Amino acid sequence: MPTAPFHPAPLIAPNLLAADFTRLGEEVDAITKAGADWLHLDIMDGHFVPNISFGPSVVQALRAKTALPFDVHLMINPVDPYLEAFAKAGANHILIHVEAGPHIHRSLERIHSLGVKAGIVLCPATPLEAITEIMDLVDIVLVMTVNPGFGGQKFLHSQLNKISRLRHMITQTNRNIHLAVDGGIDISTAPLARQAGANVLIAGSAVYGKTDYAQAIAALRTAHCPT
Ligand code: DX5
Ligand code: ZN
């Protein structure tokens, strides 16, 4: 199995789900100042995943707080009725689950028509074959390294092989597609994901669960496997 070369510094996308919900505006401001590259926003509907988070009105309220790209992860189905609302609320990327319905190709085209970057997300049980026909439509592929719905879960090492096969698949497209990982990313699992081929690290507890956000982000960015 080809192992991808150790990537240059990864992009770090702190996950707002792990922030202090009594001070969301301040938390967005703080993470911007701490050097985050993107802000990951988990949207959960209590139907596609067994948890409910927040909707487009919260995304819109936070939009004015930062210039960071909003990386909006829709753990909802159906997705189509809500794409425009999240685009209008200020999403820069809208990521939808390949498991969220039968017309994902059309949903990805719709996301592009809204002027937003399109991402596809794979649950741990979903094989890469599920996205071979839509690689020309995505800007980001997100591999879930936990079962979606909650923060603070343990990293699924079983996904590392999928990540390295996906990196190989992306290389063959000759397109600049981001490979993101999401779930259980911390200073010990970040280097494993990077070595497998991820170049975007999404992290909730490993950043917002710490007191010094800048230090936490820098630690994730520079974390290396023990030699
Ligand atoms: C799970 C979410 C992940 C999760 C990450 O459904 O998509 O973003 O909240 O949380 P940590 O980084 O704490 O595992
Ligand atoms: Zn997420």
* Inter-CA distances, 214 with 68, 144, 218, 225, Å: 15, 24, 6, 21
Domains and CATH numbers, the chain: 11-222 (3.20.20.70)
Annotation marks residue 29 as catalytic: no
Test site for ligand 1: of 71, 153, 187, most ligand atoms within 8 A of the Cβ: 153
**Secondary structure letter of residue 100 according to DSSP:** G
Strand order through the sheet with 117-122: 11-14, 200-203, 178-182, 140-144, 117-122, 93-97, 70-75, 39-44
Q: Pick the atom of ligand 1 nearest to 146's CA.
A: 1
Number of helices (H), then strands (E), belonging to the chain: the values are 8, 8
Test site for ligand 1: of 52, 182, 207, 210, most ligand atoms within 8 A of the Cβ: 182
Alpha carbon 213 to its chain's center: 18
List Cβ neighbours of 35 (8 Å cut-off, separation of 6 or more): 12, 214, 217, 218
CA of 44 to the centre of ligand 2 (A): 9
Annotation marks residue 186 as catalytic: no
Please give the Cα distance from 5 to 203 (Å, whole number).
22
**Element housing 188 (H / E):** none
Provide the token pair at 95: 């990521």
pLDDT at residue 27, rounded to an integer: 98
Alpha carbon 193 to its chain's center: 13
- DSSP E strands in 113-183: the ranges are 117-122, 140-144, 178-182
Q: What is the pLDDT tens value at each position of the chain, 227 positions in all?
A: 445 444 578 999 999 999 999 999 999 999 999 999 999 999 999 999 999 999 999 999 999 999 999 999 999 999 999 999 999 999 999 999 999 999 999 999 999 999 999 999 999 999 999 999 999 999 999 999 999 999 999 999 999 999 999 999 999 999 999 999 999 999 999 999 999 999 999 999 999 999 999 999 999 999 986 65
pTM for the predicted model, two decimal places? 0.95
Catalytic member of 42, 45, 71, 186: 42
pLDDT at residue 95, rounded to an integer: 99
